Each structure stands twice: as structure tokens, then as C-alpha cells.
Amino acid sequence: MPGPQVVPVEGDAHLPARVDVVVIGGGIIGVSTALELAERGLSVALCEKGGIGQEQSSRNWGWVRISQRDPREVPLMAESIRLWRDLDRRTGRDTGYRQCGIVFASSDDGEAASNAKWPEELGRYQLPSRIIGPAELATLYPGLKTDIKSALHTAADGRAEPQKAAPAIAEAARDKGVHILTRCAVRGLETSAGRISGVVTERGAIACDAVVLAGGAWSSLFAGNAGIALPQLKVMNSVIRTKPIADGPEVTFYDKDFAFRKRQDGGYTIASSYDNIVDIVPDSLRHMLKFLPALKSEWKSLRFRISGRFLEEARMARRWQMDEETPFERCRVLDPKPSEKWTNYALAELRKSYPTFANAEIAQRWAGYIDVTPDAVPVISAIEEIPGFHIATGFSGHGFGIGPGAGRLMADIVTNRTPVVDPTAFRLARFYDGSKIELFSGV
């Protein structure tokens, strides 16, 4: 069974001739932006080359967390938590959101010190978070064999169902009048007097005043064809989905050897933090200088490999005309082969440490490509070179939880409203204006 089973969203049969805004990409960022814009009374077309939520947004671990985040993202994540709490009501659908809490174990003094900062930081947002010891750990995870001395427990953190959330938001956007166009790759932008005037899709042209590119791992390729440099690479991560487990823990857990999150179906999504595979591809060489600081700081957690992906991407067109088939049409869904080695490792360690999981059965495995920027902070930005063009991408492995807030911020920028948080840290220009590339050294 390839990939996770995403709630299907049927695409509209007809393409509108004109809308106010075209959103490219039907992941959590694109659908959240489209819903926000439609709620403000704008006409919107959302174009997705495959199906809604079929790439990263349905493949992720399902963690909605504010703890252990880059401080530049914390205000936007606090807004996202507020939005998640109301999202089922707002969409009229089930996103699976629950404020179940997340525990980050402290394996050594460095991690303990990094965890210790969070209760005070989150206290500013009235979000509960505290350090707990072995006795409380044993209450949350009865039977867990561990020598962990302390852990960060953030009750404000939560989970949602990745296979349900983006489809629920897309359907709610459709209720508000958004045209949901699936199997509708956008080939490129059209401009008039230097401003955005429309897009060309594989199914025809749509006139518009603004475009939001929320193309996940494809954004750099798309932007490059429009003459905009966007430094972005891909990291692959794999997960196991188990069959239901009786009396399993509610609170999501992270330790260096394994991480787990309860699913709505009673099973668990299990993964390993060692499992960050980087395929060396032509873009690795193109963007190498910008990613050097990230390479230095994340070296130990990344596994580099040369695979067939190098030739695949080398053969991919980087420039094309609007009447040509594009790479977006040739690959409807990025569906990489999961790593058996690291998923097996995570499950074996979990089975050994925690009797509740001793007989856990694997129902499915999948992998996803995470799109990352040089500082692991997203780009949520208007693009000065092409007025009317905007980019919301590069969520670097933590875009699911922040998705609703990112959609709100992107909509604020498109509609010139006072932004919900200061967007300065998310501007694309930071990679080109001489700013130092700063990395957060958390989990």
C-alpha cells in the first residue's frame, strides 16, 4: 500500500477564468492560506498537481508543538495553537486535533539545559510547560524502562491527524467558495507591466492579481523558473504506523532512540530522530554555501547518501516554456521508499524499553521529503522582484503544526493587513542581504 491513506478531496471539474488569488500547492500551508483568504471575501483558486495533502502534509508525525522550536517561530506557533483549538468548529470537520501534551526526554546534561528553558519561555504565552522527573514519567508511561533523570512536559502541545487535516481545511475552503483544482499543476507565472497578472496551469490559464507559492519540496524549482532564487533542500524521514495498541499512552514522547504519537485509530506513528537521510543531488552542490552552517550544526543527525535521486533530479528540466510539460506533471506525488533500517531500529528500541509496545504490529511504513531552508525557518514573504508574487515554504520539518498560523500570516501579507506576528524573520531576502544565517540548536 503506497503512502498514507489520505481522506480524498474531489477536484472541481472547471477552471475559473479569473480570481483574486491563485494558491499553488494543496498541502497544509496552501489550504490554510486559501481558507483565510476566502474568509476575507477574496476569490481564490487552489491548484494542486496531485491530490490534496498527499506529500509532506499527510506523511508527517502529526505533532503540533511549540516546545523545542526556533524562537523566531514561537509567536506564530502560539497563534497556531489558538487556531487549532477552534479548527474542527471552523471547518465543520474532524482534524483529529487534541491537546494531549508532548514529552521530550533529557538524555544528557546538554538536553536537560535546553529543555529547562521552555517553561519560562512558554509561560509568557500562558501555555503550560514544566520539567518532570522519573516519578511523573512513570505515571505517564507505566512500565517504561528508562534511566531518564528529567524531561520537558508541555501540556499545551498536541497532535492532529495528518491524513485528515489538510483535506478538512480544503473542504472548508471550498465551502467558502475556493476553487479546488487537483491534478492541476501550475507551470508558471504571467506578468503584465512587471506585476502578477495570472498563472498558466496544465489545464489552461487563470488570471489573478496575486499568487502564493506553497509548493513544499517543489518551491525552489518553481521559483527558479520565475527567476527567483530560493535556497531549499530535501531531507527524507520515514515512519511506521502500527495496528491499534490496547491501553497505549496518550502523551506523545520523544527520546533519542524513538518517538511515538497516538493515532485516532488507536495505533501509533513511530519514528527515529536518527533517520534524516539526505540524498546528494545537484541542488546540494548549488546551495552548498548557504547550507554550510546547517551542515556543521546538524552533521550528527544527518545521513548522506548517493542514490538514483541524483540522476533523476539531474535529468529534471530547470527551465521550461508554458506550453511544455513540466516536472510537476511528471511526478504527481513524491513517494520515496521508506528506510527499513531506521524504522526497524526505532520500533525494536521501543519494544525493548516499553512493554506496552512489546507486541506492536506494523500496519504500514512510508517516507516523506521534508523541505528545508538554510536556517530551518520558513519563508513567508512577498517577493519584491515580482509584485503580487508571494512564497510560503521551507517549513523544515515542523510545518504541520504551524500551518494554520502560517496561512493566516500569509493572508495578512497578501491583503496588506497588520500581520498577526512580525514577519521580518520569514522574509526571503534574509538569505541574500548579508544577514548572518542563525540556527536554533534544539531537537
Ligand X SMILES: Cc1cc2nc3c(=O)[nH]c(=O)nc-3n(C[C@H](O)[C@H](O)[C@H](O)COP(=O)(O)OP(=O)(O)OC[C@H]3O[C@@H](n4cnc5c(N)ncnc54)[C@H](O)[C@@H]3O)c2cc1C
Sites of contact with ligand X (CB under 6 A): 24-30, 47-50, 54-57, 59-63, 185-186, 214-218, 222, 237, 239, 328, 368, 370, 393, 395, 397-401
Query: Looking at beta carbons only, is 47 or 347 nearer to ligand X?
Result: 47
Q: How far is the CB of 57 from ligand X (least distance, A)?
A: 3
Q: Which amino acid is at 267?
A: G
Q: What are phi and psi of 405, to 5 degrees?
A: -70, -40
Kind of pairing, strands 259-262 and 102-106? Answer: unpaired
Q: Whole-angstrom Cα distance, residue 75 to residue 210?
A: 26
Kind of pairing, strands 44-47 and 179-181? Answer: parallel
Query: Looking at beta carbons only, is 11 or 401 nearer to ligand X?
Result: 401
Q: How far is the CB of 84 from ligand X (least distance, A)?
A: 11
Q: How far is the CB of 302 from ligand X (least distance, A)?
A: 15
Query: Looking at beta carbons only, is 273 or 415 nearer to ligand X?
Result: 273
Q: How far is the CB of 61 from ligand X (least distance, A)?
A: 3
- Distance set, CA 323 to CA 15, 141, 200, 227, 313 (Å): 17, 57, 9, 18, 21
Query: Looking at beta carbons only, is 235 or 245 nearer to ligand X?
Result: 235
- For residue 30, give the H/E element and its range: helix 28-39
Q: How far is the CB of 241 from ligand X (least distance, A)?
A: 11
Q: Whole-angstrom Cα distance, residue 35 to residue 152?
A: 34
Helix (H, G, I), strand (E, B) or coil at 231: coil
Query: Looking at beta carbons only, is 295 or 331 nearer to ligand X?
Result: 331
Query: Looking at beta carbons only, is 113 or 187 nearer to ligand X?
Result: 187
Q: How far is the CB of 339 from ligand X (least distance, A)?
A: 11
Query: Looking at beta carbons only, is 115 or 393 nearer to ligand X?
Result: 393
Question: What secondary structure letter does DSSP report for 55?
Answer: S
Query: Looking at beta carbons only, is 198 or 401 nearer to ligand X?
Result: 401
How wide is the angle at C-alpha 390 spanned by C-alphas 228 and 43, nearest 5°?
A: 140
Question: What secondary structure letter does DSSP report for 11?
Answer: P
Q: How far is the CB of 109 from ligand X (least distance, A)?
A: 26
CA atoms within 13 A on the CB side of 214: 37
Give the contacts of 186 (CB within 8 A, at least 6 positions apart).
Answer: 22, 24, 47, 49, 199, 200, 201, 222, 328
Contacts 24+ apart (CB under 8 A), 38-41: 38/173, 38/176, 38/177, 38/178, 39/176, 40/411, 40/415
Q: How far is the CB of 33 from ligand X (least distance, A)?
A: 9
Q: How far is the CB of 102 from ligand X (least distance, A)?
A: 10
Query: Looking at beta carbons only, is 183 or 286 nearer to ligand X?
Result: 183
Residue 101 CA to its chain's centroid (Å): 19
